[in-house]
């Protein structure tokens, strides 16, 4: 992986990925000029997502002319009222110096489709899996805002392979050690078991690095 600096780059990210980004910052990989987080769970409110994302990008551009957006391109922004409008439209409208990491959603930022398929075979025998990142646990009240037990029952149990957390920061082990009751209550609400799958953050680092290199020419 190329060694790059993020010192003249601002990051704008969904708050769901704040755990991984703060981890990378703490370990010294992500020396970003500044990081702005939008509220987790905004994929359920597309107009508000767009409003807050654009506001954050413009605030970031006031700090530095280079901005990396950490949002998925396919599943994070689904505009049913304007189906042809996609995340890339927003990025392009904010002008040069703004780019987005190339992933479809937050799970894809941590493990690509082939890797997830491999993990699914290993831990669930190929059964359908509900994929999560640690942020989907930490910020569950925002991510599943408005979901009651009925909606949960309609969505989660069909994932017969259970829920798998792509954990590159040791979050689930810490959660189970510090607040096991909350973790088990969350699993009970979902109606499926939740298990962590330890990963590295190499893919996430690579995706960030790719965009930093692209911005170097700006």
Give the pLDDT confidence score for residue 191 in this predicted structure: 96
Mean pLDDT throughout 56-69?
Answer: 96
Q: Where are the domains of the chain?
A: 10-107+201-216, 112-198
Under a CB-based contact definition with an 8 Å cutoff, are residues 68 and 12 in contact?
A: yes
Mean of pLDDT values over 106-120: 97
Nearest-CA neighbor of 23 among 104, 62, 13?
13
Name the nearest CA neighbour of 168 among 130, 140, 207, 196. 196
Dihedral class, residue 97 (left if φ above 0, else alpha if ψ from -120 to 50, else beta): left
pTM for the whole structure: 0.94
SS3 label, residue 38: strand
- Is the pLDDT at 1 greater than 50, yes or no? no
CB contact at 8 A, 39 and 15: yes
pLDDT in tens, 38-49: 999 998 899 999
Residue 4: per-residue pLDDT: 86
Contacts for 28 with CB less than 8 Å, ≥ 6 apart = none
Secondary-structure class of domain 10-107+201-216 per CATH? alpha beta
Q: Is the pLDDT of residue 217 over 80?
A: no
Judge whether residue 161 has pLDDT over 50: yes
Neighbours of 208 (CB within 10 A): 24
Phi, psi for 181 (deg, rounded to 5) = -65, -45
């Amino acid at each position: 992986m190329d060694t790059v600096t993020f010192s003249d780059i601002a990051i704008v990210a969904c708050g769901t990925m704040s755990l991984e980004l703060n981890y990378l910052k703490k370990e010294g990989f992500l020396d970003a000029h500044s990081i702005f987080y939008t509220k987790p769970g905004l994929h359920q409110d597309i107009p508000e997502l767009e409003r807050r994302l654009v506001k954050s990008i413009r605030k970031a551009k006031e700090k530095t002319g280079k901005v990396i957006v950490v949002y998925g391109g396919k599943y994070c922004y689904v505009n049913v009222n304007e189906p042809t409008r996609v995340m890339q439209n927003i990025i392009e409208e904010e002008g040069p110096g703004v780019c987005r990491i190339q992933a479809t959603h937050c799970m894809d930022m941590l493990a690509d489709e082939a890797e997830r398929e491999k993990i699914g075979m290993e831990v669930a025998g190929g059964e359908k899996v509900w994929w999560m990142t640690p942020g989907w646990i930490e910020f569950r009240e925002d991510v599943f805002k408005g979901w009651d037990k009925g909606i949960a029952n309609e969505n989660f149990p069909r994932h017969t392979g259970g829920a798998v957390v792509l954990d590159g920061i040791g979050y689930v082990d810490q959660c189970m050690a510090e607040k096991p009751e909350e973790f088990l209550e969350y699993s009970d609400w979902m109606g499926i078991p939740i298990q962590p799958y330890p990963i590295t953050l190499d893919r996430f680092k690579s995706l960030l690095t790719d965009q930093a290199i692209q911005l170097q020419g700006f």
